[in-house]
Amino acid sequence: MTIESHSQRRQKSTVKAQSGQNLPEVDFRERVGLMMAWLLCLMASIAAGLDFLVDTWQPNLALLQAGLLLILPFVLNVKGPQTNSPQSPASDQRMFAKWTPLERVYPLWLSQTILALIALAMIGSFGTQLLGTPPCYHDEYSYLFGSQTIASGQWTASGPPAFAALFDQVHVLNEGTPPDGQMASRYYPGTSLWIWPWVMVGIPILGHWLAQVWLVLATNLIGRELGAPRTGFLAAMMLALSPGLATFGNLLLSHHPTLAGLALFWLMMLRWLRTHQPLDALLAMTGLAFAMLCRPATAFAMGLPFAIPVLAWLIRGPIDDSNSSTLTRKASSLVVMLIPIVAGWGIMLSYNHATTGSFWQSPYQLYTATYTPRHVYGFNNGIRGDQSMSPKIWKAYDQWADNLTWPLALQNMATRLCGSFLWTFDPLFALAAGLLYWFWCPPDFRWRWLMAGILTTHLVHFPYWYPGIMGWHYVFESAPLIALAMAQMVISLADRWAKEQRPVAIHWLLVMCIVAGLGANASIPGLWDSRRALAYGSIEYPRVRVYQQFDDWLTRALPDEPVLVLIRQDAGEIAIDHVTNEPGWQAKVIRARYLPEILDPQDPGALDELAATFPGRSFWLADPKERLLQQLRQREKNPAHNGR
């Protein structure tokens, strides 16, 4: 046995990674930590393989991952050829660069081109089959209404000419009839502003696709800014292949516009922490301000960790004339940070005043107080909401909200964390990244503030009763941070094993990455359904088999003339609602609710009043469930029309 000097042992156990970080020295405690993380990951994958965990982590996929984990101890015992000298980093790098793509740093132009093409291909292939189909969530119709209203140059649209309650639309404020009545999306204006240009060109979802591409490219740049180009590239690739991001990138929700702003904020704020240049600060806060206009709570959560280093820099150091240049730079950075935030709040307050009549009450707050008081933020929301005396409460939807208690809040937090792991890329990788944080977290302090956003986002949404769409949409914006954590874990392990000359282990790591990508995106008949396929099915059903089929039936059944359709809906149905209209009341088909207590179709006088406010239209009663269509009033003399 060769007796090594202390310096030789130290050189063998410490490596300078290509990203520029120092990997920690291997010692007994570290080996125990790595072994415990391996054991916990193995137990989790076996539990998923036995179907003890969530169905979304397919059992056969989990068992395959468990099998790969089982052979890892044997793989680690296989070493590559030894070099003559322990002090030969250049030859080591050339040797190990040939083993896997994990060891390569691609030129920026090449990596960005590859990532952009893959990101666009993945999100486009998911969504092209759904182009032209109606949205599936109430929120999407609300954002569309908001963008169509903005296209007319206004924050609000005119209310219905009469019988306002018949035209209530989910997540759209409906404050009565003109001259004072108006309608507006309940949501904050940023998302509608983002969608608006693409509504004008007839492809509303295109803006979300472009946001996805920008997010992927920005993640690659973030890795490079942190001195970890391989981490950035791998994290960006994970996001491009993420089944969750492909899903939400094809929904007209607020998350992708929010991420577009946050990606700019993260990139430029990390840069500002290095340069302290006012332009970097201006761009960073512009991104955060836009994110605030989309999802204020999420923007606050993501910005909060960075407030610590910003404030520390502003108050640090002597304040005297000899440091006038430093003071000038600090003052400049502070001013340019405030400008976008003040501008963003100006837009928000203007929107509030236009939609609610108050600068300090948002349409979100007014809608909740008016229609769904149990859906408020905070604990005991159900108890507080049940005390509301609002006459417009949508009872079925309102009662859907559970009363938030501490046990439910903790359960929701666990659900959101699990959803984040499942839908970002791969649950096993995300679990390993969390367990090995102590191992891979680089010494660059900027990583800490970035990763803290995962925690603050979960904490900000902790006091809310609903876990979220697919169990994670309230913390959706943490996905890029989780991807960076997973990628940094993979690269750290690859660097460790490259230094220890374990080529088979690095190939094992690459195989794990490939299996994770297959589990996320490729269904294998008889083995598993990919999470991408599961997610696609969850939105394809309501879009195509519910909304699209109803729209097609209604188009075939109705005459080719301006009509108003009263739609009979199950009072207890909260997931599906067919009463959606564009602003302006000029559409060929206007939809209204069948509410006989407000307008009795058998009362000719009531129909006359409705016809006077919607002249030149025939009137119909539709039953989506039974596919029955009954004419109530003719536009002109013609035989009764049966659209069955």
- Could you read off the pLDDT of 517-538 as tens digits, one per residue? 999 999 999 999 999 999 999 9
**Residues 67, 73, 77, 79, CA torsion sign:** positive
Residue 447 has pLDDT above 60, yes or no: yes
The predicted structure's pLDDT at residue 637: 52
**Encoded tokens for 137:** 């969530």
Residue 344 has pLDDT above 50, yes or no: yes
Does residue 610 lie in a domain region?
Answer: yes
Does residue 6 lie in a domain region?
Answer: no
Does residue 601 lie in a domain region?
Answer: yes
Residue 4 has pLDDT above 80, yes or no: no
- First CA to last CA across the chain, in angstroms? 88
Does residue 586 lie in a domain region?
Answer: yes
β-sheet with 157-158: strand ranges across: 157-158, 182-185, 172-174
Residue 103 has pLDDT above 80, yes or no: no
The predicted structure's pLDDT at residue 151: 93
**Encoded tokens for 584:** 């302006």
CA dist 105 and 9 (Å) reads 28
Question: Domain range spanning residue 626?
Answer: 556-633
Residue 197 has pLDDT above 70, yes or no: yes
Whether omega before 179 lies within 30 degrees of 0, making that bond cis, reads yes
Does residue 128 lie in a domain region?
Answer: no
Does residue 598 lie in a domain region?
Answer: yes
For residue 580, CA distances in Å to 138, 535, 551, 597 come to 9, 25, 11, 21
Does residue 23 lie in a domain region?
Answer: no
Residues 46-70: what's their mean pLDDT?
Answer: 91
β-sheet with 589-593: strand ranges across: 589-593, 563-567, 618-623, 628-633
The predicted structure's pLDDT at residue 83: 52
Residue 55 has pLDDT above 90, yes or no: no
For residue 381, CA distances in Å to 1, 146, 329, 415 come to 69, 27, 46, 19
Residue 198 has pLDDT above 50, yes or no: yes
Residue 323 has pLDDT above 90, yes or no: no
pLDDT band at 592 (very low <50, low <70, confident <90, very high): very high
Other residues' Cβ atoms within 10 Å of the Cβ of residue 601: 17
Residues 348-374: what's their mean pLDDT?
Answer: 94
Cα 103–106–109 angle (5° rounding)? 165
The predicted structure's pLDDT at residue 93: 47
Does residue 613 lie in a domain region?
Answer: yes
What's the number of domains the chain is made of?
Answer: 1
Least confident of 1-5, 94-98, 312-316: 1-5
Nearest to 301 by CA among 416, 212, 216: 416
Least confident of 155-159, 334-338, 367-371, 502-506: 502-506
What distance separates the 2 farthest-apart alpha carbons in the chain?
A: 105
